[in-house]
Amino acid sequence: MKPEVKFRNWNSRPCLALDTDIVFPVKKKIPMDSSLNSAHQQGRKADMLLKSRKPEEAIFCHRRAAEHLLQAMQLTTCMKAKDSISLQHQFHLRQQDLLQERLSKLQALQIKISNKKDLTQSQGTQTDFLNLDGSPNSIDAASQALSDTDSMLEYLINREKQERGDVSNQQQPEEHKIVQKVPRDDKTIIKELTVQNDELRKHVHILIKDLDECKGDNEFLLQRVLTAGRPDRGSDNKDIFGRTVEDDKSPNFELPPLEQPHFDFDSIGIPVEALEHSVEENGIFFSD
């Protein structure tokens, strides 16, 4: 018995009808602008947008595809077609939820990174010296910290004098005339002084550490220079950098003279006269 020949929904060529195929009647053709074709187009568009790193537009396309599939499910009467369309509808809903979850996590991560950058910039604006890696800017940062601290202390001293009414018209030193920072309240003053002292302490530790390292390097180089300037470097046979140097003048050991080997030519059947004659012809001379 020959298998029944029926038509698929996307072309008009005859094919074998299998159990897993969605078989439509021969006379019924789905138009190109149908809900099912529109859903497939939206699905392919969502895949392309996802590859282009556009998750928001991909979510919108999956939503449109799910809506088109829902319309197609309501229009068809074939149970197998409904089951297939229902599975596709559930797939697009899952993709929509999955992409939305990933997008939410990405947005939360971006907000966290942005807040961290803003906090770092605000701290840098307050202190203006967050260079703690021992670079040459540590000296400038320490000087800036001292200047800010002196400015706030000068402000506190002047305010205390004003409260006591002990404001004199005497000429102040030149370095205390300008107050760089004028805090708004006592809480701000205490906070800024604490930050300035902490940062200043860090920079002082860094400068002391760099100074100790420089002293150690100077002592090491001085010792190497003194060792290299001596005529005899000693038995260690090393250069100023501590590397082993091979001496070109290696000692000549007295070795015993080599003994001439004695061969018994008679035992191998070669006459001694013939051997001597052959050696003389080749220019090789030897004595017994």
Extract the residue ranges of the chain whose pLDDT is less than 70. Answer: 1-33, 119-146, 150, 165-184, 229-253, 263-288
Fill in the DSSP letter of residue 261: P
Question: What's the confidence (pLDDT) of residue 139?
Answer: 63
CATH topology assigned to domain 35-121 = Methane Monooxygenase Hydroxylase; Chain G, domain 1 (1.20.58)
Tokens of 136: 């040459």
Tokens of 190: 């205490």
pTM over 0.85: no
80 neighbors 26 (Cβ within 8 angstroms)? no
Question: What's the confidence (pLDDT) of residue 206?
Answer: 84
CA-to-CA distance for 201 and 146, rounded, in angstroms? 11
Q: How far is CA 19 from CA 25, 28, 207, in A?
A: 15, 20, 81
Question: What's the confidence (pLDDT) of residue 175?
Answer: 45
Element (H, E) at 6: strand 5-7
Residue 36 CB partners (closer than 8 Å, separation 6+): 9, 30, 68, 69, 72, 85
The count of C-alpha atoms lying within 13 angstroms of the C-alpha of 264, restricted to the half-sphere facing its C-beta, is 2
Three-state DSSP at 217 gives helix
* Beta-carbon count within 10 A of 118 CB: 10
Domains of the chain, by residue range, sit at 35-121
Tell me the pLDDT tens digit for each residue of 213-266: 888 888 888 888 887 766 554 555 555 555 565 555 555 667 777 777 776 666
Beta bridge partners of 24: 7
CA-to-CA distance for 283 and 179, rounded, in angstroms? 106
